């Protein structure tokens, strides 16, 4: 299969890769950009571990081809910190509320939480549970994840992401 030059804007930086057009956005980031913060769980759209923001919206990177993201702004967990290097309010809330155990699902949960608030779906615990239901946590940290997202809703800077 011939390769193709593919340019992605990731965390505010342009990156060009010579890749097979069948490469997913998840593999492009992990295998070609060296950004391994985005996790591969099921690789078939069922767990949410690979959640990224593309133009501010939640996307499953394992179900998205890298070429589909050309011309869009991609934000991974590595890009969520502020320009001063400080952690994002959602990351701080996950620490405060002990919202992880092994941490494998955490990058996806955090990006999904940011989007959940931005979408206006963090009004109640039930709403947060419903709109975070695509992100599976095998450690069962759900009560603490909900608490972190709820605590973060309305906190300054929470909705900001590239």
For 13-35, b where at least 16 C-beta lie within 10 A, e where not — what string? eebebebbeebbbbbbbbebbeb
Residue 66 CA neighbour count, 13 Å, CB half: 27
Q: Does 146 bind ligand FES (CB under 6 A)?
A: no
User: CB 44 → ligand FES: shortest distance, Å?
Assistant: 6
Map tokens 């419903």 to a residue: 130
Q: Mask 21-50, x = binds ligand FES (CB under 6 A)?
A: -------------------xxxx-xxxxxx
Give the count of residues interacting with ligand FES (CB under 6 A). Answer: 23
> Which of positions 71-100 make contact with ligand FES (CB under 6 A)?
100
Pairing of strands 51-54, 4-10: unpaired
Q: Does 19 bind ligand FES (CB under 6 A)?
A: no
Q: Which residues of the chain form contacts with ligand FES (CB under 6 A)? A: 40-43, 45-50, 60, 62, 100-106, 137-139, 141
């Amino acid at each position: 299969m011939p390769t193709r030059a593919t340019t992605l804007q990731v965390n505010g930086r342009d990156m060009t890769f010579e890749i097979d057009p069948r490469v997913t956005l998840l593999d492009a980031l992990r295998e070609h950009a060296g950004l391994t913060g985005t996790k591969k769980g099921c690789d078939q759209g069922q767990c949410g571990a690979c959640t990224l923001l593309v133009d501010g919206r939640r996307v499953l990177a394992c179900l998205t081809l890298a070429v589909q993201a050309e011309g869009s702004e991609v934000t991974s967990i590595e890009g969520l910190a502020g320009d001063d290097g400080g952690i994002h309010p959602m990351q701080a809330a996950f620490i405060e509320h002990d919202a992880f155990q092994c941490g494998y699902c955490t990058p996806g949960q955090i990006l999904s939480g940011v989007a959940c608030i931005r979408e206006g779906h963090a009004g109640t615990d039930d709403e947060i549970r419903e709109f975070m239901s695509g992100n599976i946590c095998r450690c069962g940290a759900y009560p603490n994840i909900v608490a972190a997202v709820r605590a973060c809703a309305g906190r300054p800077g929470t909705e900001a992401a590239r």
